Amino acid sequence: MTDTPESTIPEPQLNRRSFLKGCTTVAAALGISEAMIPKLVEAATSAQRPPVIWLHFQECTGCTESLLRASHPDIARLILDIISLDYHETVMAPAGHQAEKSMHDTLDKFAGKFLCVVEGGIPTKDKGIYCKIGGRTAMEILADVAPKAAAIIAIGSCAAYGGIQAASPNPTGAVGVKDLVSGTPVINVPGCPPNPISFLGTVLHYLTFGRLPVTDNLGRPLFAYGRRIHDHCERRAHFDEGRFAEQFGDYGHRNGYCLYKVGCKGPGTFANCPSVRFNDVDVWPVSVGHGCIGCTEPDFWDTMTPFYERLPNVNVPGIAGVTNIDKAGKTILGIAAAAVGIHAAVGIGKSMVTGCGCKDKK
């Protein structure tokens, strides 16, 4: 097993002593007097910048990459001025034991106070052996960290709902954070990856008010997922008038007509893409000519595919056979059989995680 806080730090005095030694080194490096050390110690333990532990599980790092594209705040301002990103495998300087020490330091010093971000799904099949970090499975790490966090943000559709690895036949029994964690508040910021605006908005809301923003019944903040894409798409007027692109590159496509017939899943998807857009250059997939793929919805890899076929059950002007569009996009693929096996695995994973730490939380 990997080192744990208990095994590496036998007594609190030693921890503090090594910490003071660290402050001395820093003071020397800064060329400031040792008289400053108590101030450094105070600053370090009072956490002027809220500590954040960012866990990577079954993921592609696309959510982290999306954060690199953010502008307000940009990544430098975020990690230098707003939060203290104490553990994040993609950007942190240390590796291996030194990296794990960074995590344990924060778990020890700021238990109950740090914000946890989870990126990626959690494999539960075969005791979770499909994702291991430092010798521990993703399930074991989540069981260790989640109960000690003040709140958890599940960034991306993988951490929120299992994501692509949970697509049928879900070979690794991948699930989202909420499937495993109870007792710590969890908010979902889905998308593949989500717009960094939605993630950062959630963080800033939490840091300002000390509570998570209001969510819908899928755990998503209303400020970012409260509206159906189809209802505030700039091409909606074309839909209502029955003007569609029939094929990529045709007259309608070149002139901004509705993309429903080339597969757009906007009628079944809730997100702010049309209003906040991406990368600060006033675009989103639909504005450039590709339909929405429904990436903020649970199980969209199964319910929204094939991506280039029309979403069924949508009231379309001029097309017969219509039903309620609220039911759109949920029943396309028959995945019930695969889901049964996965639910059994989730049960095991959940008992592992909740049985392993949530008890400690009052």
**Of residues 303-362, which lie at the interface with other proteins (CB under 8 A)?**
305-309
The reply on whether position 296 binds other proteins by CB under 8 A is: no
The piece of 54-62, 205-213, 312-320, 352-360 that touches other proteins (CB under 8 A) is 54-62
Question: Directed axis angle between helix 37-46 and helix 12-30, to 10°?
Answer: 120
Q: Are the C-beta atoms of residues 198 and 224 closer than 8 Å to each other?
A: yes
Give the span between the Cα atoms of 350 and 182, in whole angstroms: 9
Binders in 153-192 for other proteins, by CB under 8 A: 163-165, 167-172, 174, 192
The site for other proteins, by CB under 8 A, has a size of 110
Using CB under 8 A, which of 38, 222, 242, 247 touches other proteins? Answer: 247
Q: Are the C-beta atoms of residues 269 and 228 closer than 8 Å to each other?
A: yes
The piece of 59-67, 181-189, 321-329, 340-348 that touches other proteins (CB under 8 A) is 59-67
Binders in 69-128 for other proteins, by CB under 8 A: 69, 71, 74-76, 79-80, 83-86, 88-99, 101-102, 105, 121, 123, 126
The reply on whether position 129 binds other proteins by CB under 8 A is: yes
The reply on whether position 133 binds other proteins by CB under 8 A is: yes
Binders in 216-235 for other proteins, by CB under 8 A: 235
- CA distances (Å), origin 124, targets 29, 146, 170, 238: 46, 16, 10, 45
Question: How buried is 338 (Cβ within 10 angstroms: 0-12 exposed, 13-18 middle, 19+ buried)?
Answer: middle
Give the span between the Cα atoms of 285 and 264, in whole angstroms: 10
Pairing mode, strands 186-189 and 115-119: unpaired
CB of 221 to other proteins, least distance (A): 19
- The b-or-e profile of 279-316 (16+ CB within 10 A means b, else e) is eeeeebbbbeebbbbbbbbbbbbbbbbebeebbebbeb
The piece of 40-48, 147-155, 225-233, 316-324 that touches other proteins (CB under 8 A) is 40-48
Whichever of 60 and 111 has its CB closer to other proteins, that residue is 60
CB of 61 to other proteins, least distance (A): 5
